[in-house]
Amino acid sequence: MIPALGVASEIYPLVKTGGLADVVGAMPAALRPYDVDLRTLVPGYPRVMASLAARETLLSYDDLFGGPATLVAGKAGELDLIVLDAPHLFERGGNPYLGPDGKDWVDNWRRFAALGFAAADIGLGKVPSFVPAVVHPHDWQAGLAPVYLRFAGANAKSVLTIHNLAFQGQFSASIFADLKLPPEAFSINGVEYYGGVGYLKGGLHFADAITTVSPTYAEEITTPGNGMGLDGLLRTRRGVLSGIVNGVDVDVWNPATDTHLIANYGPGRLRRRAENKREIERRFALAPGDGAIFAVVSRLTWQKGLDLLAAAIDLLVANGARLAVLGSGDAAIEDPFRVAAAVHRGHVGLVTGYNEPLSHLLQGGADAILIPSRFEPCGLTQFYGLRYGCVPVVARVGGLADTIIDANDAALSAGVATGVQFFPVDAGGLERGLKHALDLYAQPDTWESLQKRGMRHDVSWDKSAGRYAAIYKSLAGGGSA
Ligand code: ADP
List strands edge to edge, sheet with 348-352.
348-352, 322-329, 293-300, 368-371, 391-395, 420-422
CATH assignment at residue 386: 3.40.50.2000
Verify whether ligand 1 is closer than 6 Å to residue 19 (CB atom): yes
Question: What pLDDT shows up at residue 481?
Answer: 53
**372 and 239: one domain?**
no
In a domain, 218, yes or no: yes
In a domain, 252, yes or no: no
Q: Which of 158, 155, 211 is nearest to 4 (CA)?
A: 158
Q: Which residue intervals of 86-230 are DSSP H helices?
A: 87-90, 108-123, 145-151, 199-206, 215-220
In a domain, 481, yes or no: no
In a domain, 257, yes or no: no
Q: Please report, to the nearest 10 degrees, the dihedral formed by the alpha carbons of residues 59, 63, 64, 70 taken in order.
A: 30
What would the mean pLDDT of 281-305 be, rounded to a whole number? Answer: 96
**371 and 323: one domain?**
yes
DSSP 195: T
Residue 329 confidence (pLDDT) above 90: no
Protein residue closest via CA to atom 4 of ligand 1? 18
E-assigned strands of 203-277? 209-212, 241-243
- 301 C-alpha vs ligand 1 centroid, how far in Å? 12
Question: What pLDDT shows up at residue 280?
Answer: 98
- Angstrom distances, CA of residue 424 to CA of 195, 196, 304, 394: 35, 35, 14, 11
**303 and 242: one domain?**
no
Separation CA 219–CA 203 (nearest Å)? 19
Residue 480 confidence (pLDDT) above 60: no
Nearest atom in ligand 1 to 22's CA: 14
**98 and 169: one domain?**
yes
Mean pLDDT for all residues in the chain: 96
Verify whether ligand 1 is closer than 6 Å to residue 301 (CB atom): no
Q: What percent of the chain has pLDDT over 90?
A: 95
- Angstrom distances, CA of residue 3 to CA of 29, 119, 218: 14, 14, 26
Nearest atom in ligand 1 to 326's CA: 23
**342 and 419: one domain?**
yes
Q: Under a CB-based contact definition with an 8 Å cutoff, are residues 257 and 264 in contact?
A: yes
* 239-265 pLDDT per residue, tens: 999 999 999 989 989 999 999 999 999
Question: What pLDDT shows up at residue 19?
Answer: 85
Question: Probe ligand 1: pick from 161, 296, 297, 394, max atoms within 8 Å of CB?
Answer: 297
Question: What pLDDT shows up at residue 176?
Answer: 98
Nearest atom in ligand 1 to 19's CA: 2
What would the mean pLDDT of 408-436 be, rounded to a whole number? Answer: 98
**46 and 17: one domain?**
yes
* 11-39 pLDDT per residue, tens: 999 999 888 999 999 999 999 999 999 99
In a domain, 347, yes or no: yes
Verify whether ligand 1 is closer than 6 Å to residue 355 (CB atom): yes
According to DSSP, the residues that pair with 81 across neighbouring strands are 40, 74
**23 and 132: one domain?**
yes
Q: Under a CB-based contact definition with an 8 Å cutoff, are residues 346 and 285 in contact?
A: yes
In a domain, 261, yes or no: no
What is the tally of structural domains in the chain? 2
0.85 cut: is pTM over it? yes
Verify whether ligand 1 is closer than 6 Å to residue 246 (CB atom): no
Separation CA 270–CA 366 (nearest Å)? 12
* 111-168 pLDDT per residue, tens: 999 999 999 999 999 999 999 999 999 999 999 999 999 999 999 999 999 999 999 9
The residue segments making up the domain with residue 340 are 267-456
Structure confidence at residue 295 as a pLDDT band (50, 70, 90): very high
Residue 479 confidence (pLDDT) above 60: no
**44 and 172: one domain?**
yes
Structure confidence at residue 93 as a pLDDT band (50, 70, 90): confident
Verify whether ligand 1 is closer than 6 Å to residue 298 (CB atom): yes
Residue 418 confidence (pLDDT) above 90: yes
* 337-369 pLDDT per residue, tens: 999 999 999 999 999 998 999 999 999 999 999
- 198 C-alpha vs ligand 1 centroid, how far in Å? 27
* 204-224 pLDDT per residue, tens: 999 999 999 999 999 999 999
**342 and 321: one domain?**
yes
- Angstrom distances, CA of residue 123 to CA of 50, 116, 153, 203, 271: 26, 10, 10, 15, 53
In a domain, 141, yes or no: yes
Question: Probe ligand 1: pick from 380, 402, 404, max atoms within 8 Å of CB?
Answer: 380
**355 and 317: one domain?**
yes
Q: Under a CB-based contact definition with an 8 Å cutoff, are residues 65 and 117 in contact?
A: yes
In a domain, 224, yes or no: yes
**438 and 468: one domain?**
no
**227 and 351: one domain?**
no
